[in-house]
Amino acid sequence: MASEPEEAPVAAQVPFSSHRLSTPFPLRLPAFVSLGAFAGGILGLIHGANETGMRFRAENAHRLPKTQTGWYLYHKSKNYVAMLGGIKEGMRMAGRQAFWVAVFVGSEESVDRARGAASRIWSGVRENDDGEIEGASKDFVSTLFAGLGTAGLFSLWNRFPVPTAARLAKMGAKAGLGFGLLQDAVSIMRGRRIGYVEFIKRHTIGVGEKEDRLAAATAT
């Protein structure tokens, strides 16, 4: 009797639980870019409409209408100009926000991968042996560096003076720290291991990965 053909080995993949917010980078990047573009578009639309409307009033302050029909046409023209200016500014701001959000998310992923590779080399584990090692290095530290790096690139792009660049770098680091800790909290609630959390558990209450795995194997 012929034996059944053996199934071809399936290439090991990093589970979704090892990714930030349980979302792979190819899906997380367009999601964050879309949110950034939407927020930038709304802010740009409001700012552009207000600024264009005020400019229209200033440019026509010396020739205000004197009749009811004139005032009707004046406000109609002002609203049209404000709407057009808001749309233009909204599109411009949406593009800028989308670009810098992409830089931030890409920088965060690059730092994650670099730290994951360093952790694998330090632990002597091959790339596909354990996705938890790669996922454990995805914490607030990478997000902090991403915020700091994005702020630095933004200052360099706009040629800000050193005091302004330093102040912006502090803001970027604080924003990255806060957003990174928020991601860590969400990841912990979803069951992903965070490197520094596991370190604290291992050196305070004596709970480590081996104990958790042994308990899980015993339960099954």
Tell me the domain boundaries of the chain: 23-123, 139-208
What's the rounded Cα separation, in Å, for the pair 211 and 181? 26
Residue length, the chain?
220
The average pLDDT across 182-207 equals: 79
The answer to whether the Cα torsion of 121, 125, 129, 131 is positive or negative is: negative
Count of beta carbons in the 10 Å neighbourhood of residue 6: 6
pTM above 0.75, yes or no: yes
What's the rounded Cα separation, in Å, for the pair 97 and 41? 8
Note the pLDDT tens digit of each residue in 128-167. Answer: 444 555 566 788 999 999 999 999 999 999 999 999 999 9
- Asked if 99 contacts 35 with a C-beta cutoff of 8 angstroms, the reply is no
Q: What value does the mean pLDDT of the chain take?
A: 83
What's the rounded Cα separation, in Å, for the pair 73 and 37? 34
Span between the terminal Cα atoms of the chain, in Å: 34
